[in-house]
Chain A
Amino acid sequence: MTESSIQLGVVDYAILLVYFIFVLGIGFALKRSMKGSKDFFLSGQSIPAWVTGLAFLSANLGAQEVIGMAASGAKYGIMTSHFYWVGAIPAMVFLAIFMMPFYYGSKARSVPEYLKLRFDEKTRGFNAISFAAMTIFSSGISLHALAKLLETLVHWDYWTCIAISALIVLIYIFLGGLTSAIYNEVLQFFMIVMGFAPLVYLGLRDVGGWSALKEKLIPVATSQGYAAGTWSHSWAEMGSPIENPMGIGWFGMVMGLGFVLSFGYWCTDFLVVQRAMAADSMSAARRTPLIAAVPKMLFPALVILPGMIAIALNHQSGGTLLPAAADGTPDYNMVIPALLAKYLPTGLLGIGFTALMASFMSGMAGNVTAFNTVWTYDIYQSYIAPGKSDQHYLWMGRWATVFGILVSVGAAFLASQFNNIMDMLQLVFGFVNAPLFATFLLGMFWKRATGHGAFFGLLAGTLAAIIFHGMALTKGCVPGIKGGWLHPSLFYQSEMGQNFWMAIVAWTACFLLTILISLATSRTKTDEELTGLVYSLTPRPKSENEPWFKRPAIIGILVLLGAGALNIIFR
């Protein structure tokens, strides 16, 4: 049977309803704690590390991530784990040990504000505006994806889905601000674990265990012309891009994903960094990404493994598990829904379905809270209405939430009408994001880096990304939005490979140009002004008095050893 819909029973609806009540209840219960703007935007820096840690992980675990990672698990096999063990863990450790002291220790209330303190107004403005636009559109895309999925799965009306989820997110953030978002992210984390663990258990039991799964993945690989072990080895087939379905060699993977994109996301994206900045102490803020790293390392078992199980079963049964997409290949995005429908009886199905809904909504909420903070502090307070009372900015934050959600709904509308607009926007955001980590790296570790250097370096990096995109093309694609519109002269095996190399080029251009321009311009900030913002001018945070399991360096090394071991085991 190729069912692309699931039947929810009364119990399942009850479970979903209970969840909605809890989510809203948390918002109402937190309303009294929101006394000033810092309570609303930074949770009054009062959240314990285990909560910020799980929220840090969850903020990135939107439903596109859950659905997308399962899809990649089916499409590429265990190589997808590179997004975790290479493309996340090292960057999270770096953020905890080296970068958190600057974010949490300086007076900055947001990532763009750090750029203002470290460099200058124009660098902050560029980052704040692009980030605000990006988060709000991401939230819209999340909303659109949710409504689209529910429409196919349970035949709910598209606009009813949008209205209900937007309204729930609006209410709980309007009332409880960042704390509400963080608490609900932790709730979502446990929902995902509770909903997906039985799914993986039953799926793995059905295929006959891990070694039987590896056996059954062999024909999946060979039927597509790859070596037998491709789906069950993360490194073995990475010698060159033509040997694996991702179409990437090891260097492009390690540098593009593992360094440029991963550090750029985990270390500079305010969506995740904001969670750590809400922690109740410097020590808790530094432990936040490390606490997140432990479940992050194990998450491939919950989100990638289902994809591998699904493709094995699908292949074995001659393509009856997954529905076919328009081009005749299996519709990989249906992995999770198909497994939910196959294995979970009513009751557990409600938990799994609610987990999926929860991750959509908290993905949206994460974007909205990051947006309202950057909008209020970095745009409204800086350029539109400086010098108002704190209550005024709290009021603005609440209304920015309403405004942000309305724009998200508008973006969802655009996405539902014109598919290309969203591709276009994501492409533009890719240009802006790719070089970002070079700016932060030089800013934090080289006191000679200047405001002009940072700003024009960033512009140059973005420009390099655009030019690269105009020259690069994936084999089999026509020049246009996929690249090659200037003069196709660099060819890649896959779009993913092309993207990773674009990031490498943009980062390098930004890095070099920032250094050159900084050396050519004079410093505008004195050593005193840069204290707390640059590594060499900042006293090291003390952690010698803490027990070993609370010391960032020690946990960081353990986490890295763990990720290294996983890479070796599944090589």
Chain B
Amino acid sequence: MNFDLRFPLGILFSLYGLILVATGLTSTPAMINQSLGINMNLWWGLFQLLFGAIMLALALRKK
């Protein structure tokens, strides 16, 4: 039987979320300037983390 795709999706985007949040927290002013003064890495990283967590929760709930 094929495995539930939500599982790798959840892990991948949680991981990417963590990487982006870490990058966001250590951003240089130049990086923040580039994205128009918004710490996009941080915010978009948190969103990806949330998406990843939801996918993981859905995959695990089924088991």
Could you tell me the distance between the alpha carbons of A462 and B27 in the complex, rounded to whole angstroms? Answer: 58
Give which listed residue, A43, A345, A346, contacts B2 with CB less than 8 A.
Answer: A43
Q: Find chain B residues with CB under 8 A from A194 CB.
A: 13, 16, 44, 48, 51
Q: How far is the CB of B60 from chain A (nearest CB, A)?
A: 17
Residues of B within 8 A of A36 (CB): none
Least CB distance, A419 to chain B, in whole angstroms:
36
CB-contact partner of A202 in B15, B20, B35, under 8 A? B35
* B41 contact from A18, A29, A205, A348, Cβ within 8 A: A348
Query: Cβ of A343 and Cβ of B16 under 8 Å apart?
Result: no
Chain B interface, number of residues (Cβ within 8 angstroms): 27
The B11-63 residues at the A interface (CB cut-off 8 A) are: 12-13, 15-16, 19-20, 23-24, 27, 31-32, 34-36, 38, 40-41, 44-45, 48, 51
Q: Which one of B16, B44, B51 lies within 8 Å of A15 (CB-CB)?
A: B16
The distance in angstroms between the C-alpha atoms of A26 and B7, with both chains bound, is 11
Chain A contacts of B5 at CB under 8 A? Answer: 51, 183, 186
Residues in A neighbouring B15, C-beta threshold 8 A: 18
Query: In the bound complex, what is the Cα–Cα distance between A33 and B41 (angstroms)?
Result: 38
- On whether the beta carbons of B44 and A198 are closer than 8 Å, the reply is yes
Q: Closest Cβ of chain A: how far from B54's Cβ, in Å?
A: 12
SS of A interface (majority): helix
Please, which residue of chain A has its CB at the minimum distance from the CB of B20? A347
Q: Give the residue of A46, A51, A197, A351 whose beta carbon is less than 8 angstroms from that of B20.
A: A351
**A window 317-372: CB within 8 A of B:** 342-348, 351
Within the complex, what minimum Cβ distance (angstroms) separates B55 from chain A? Answer: 9
- Please state if B23 and A190 are interface contacts (CB–CB under 8 Å): no
Mark A36-66 against chain B: 1 for CB-CB distance below 8 A, else 0: 0000000110110001000000000000000
B32–chain A nearest beta-carbon distance, Å: 7
| Contact indicator A345/B48 (Cβ below 8 Å) | no
- Enumerate chain A residues within 8 angstroms of B9, measured Cβ to Cβ: 186-187, 190
CB of B19 within 8 A of CB of A345, answer no
Residue of B nearest to A183 (CB): B5
Contact call A25/B8, Cβ cutoff below 8 A: yes
Task: Evaluate contact between B12 and A202: CB separation under 8 angstroms.
Answer: no
Contact flag A187-B8 (CB < 8 Å), given A202-B40, A343-B36, A348-B41: yes
Task: Report the separation of the CA atoms of residues A187 and B19 in the bound assembly, to the nearest whole angstrom.
Answer: 18
Q: Which of A179, A202, A347 is packed against the most chain B CB atoms within 10 Å?
A: A347
Bound-state CA distance A22–B14 (Å) is 13
Q: How far is the CB of A312 from the nearest CB of chain B, in Å?
A: 16
Q: Contact between A348 and B8 (Cβ–Cβ < 8 Å)?
A: no
> B48 touching A30 by the CB < 8 A rule?
no
Which residues of B are found within 8 Å of A206, using beta-carbon distances?
A: 36
A476 and B9 alpha carbons, distance in the complex (Å)? 50
Residues of A near B51 (CB, < 8 A) are 190, 194
A347 with B24, Cβ < 8 A, contacts A22-B12, A194-B16 known: yes
Q: For residue A357, give the distance in angstroms from its CB to the closest CB of chain B.
A: 14
- Note all chain B residues with C-beta closer than 8 A to A186: 5, 9
Would you call B2 and A344 a contact (CB within 8 A)?
no
Instruction: Provide 19 A-B residue pairs closer than 8 Å at the C-beta atoms, listed in order of the A residue.
Output: A14-B19, A18-B16, A33-B1, A33-B2, A44-B2, A51-B5, A183-B5, A190-B13, A197-B44, A202-B40, A205-B36, A343-B34, A343-B36, A346-B31, A347-B20, A348-B20, A348-B40, A348-B41, A351-B20
Q: Residues of B with Cβ closer than 8 Å to A?
A: 1-3, 5, 8-9, 12-13, 15-16, 19-20, 23-24, 27, 31-32, 34-36, 38, 40-41, 44-45, 48, 51
The 7 closest A-B pairs by CB, nearest first: A347-B23, A345-B31, A347-B41, A345-B34, A198-B44, A347-B20, A22-B12
Interface residues of A (CB under 8 A from B): 11, 14-15, 18-19, 22, 25-26, 29-30, 33, 43-44, 46-47, 51, 179, 183, 186-187, 190, 194, 197-198, 202, 205-206, 342-348, 351
Name 4 extra pairs, CB < 8 A, besides A44-B2, A348-B20. A46-B1, A47-B2, A183-B8, A194-B48
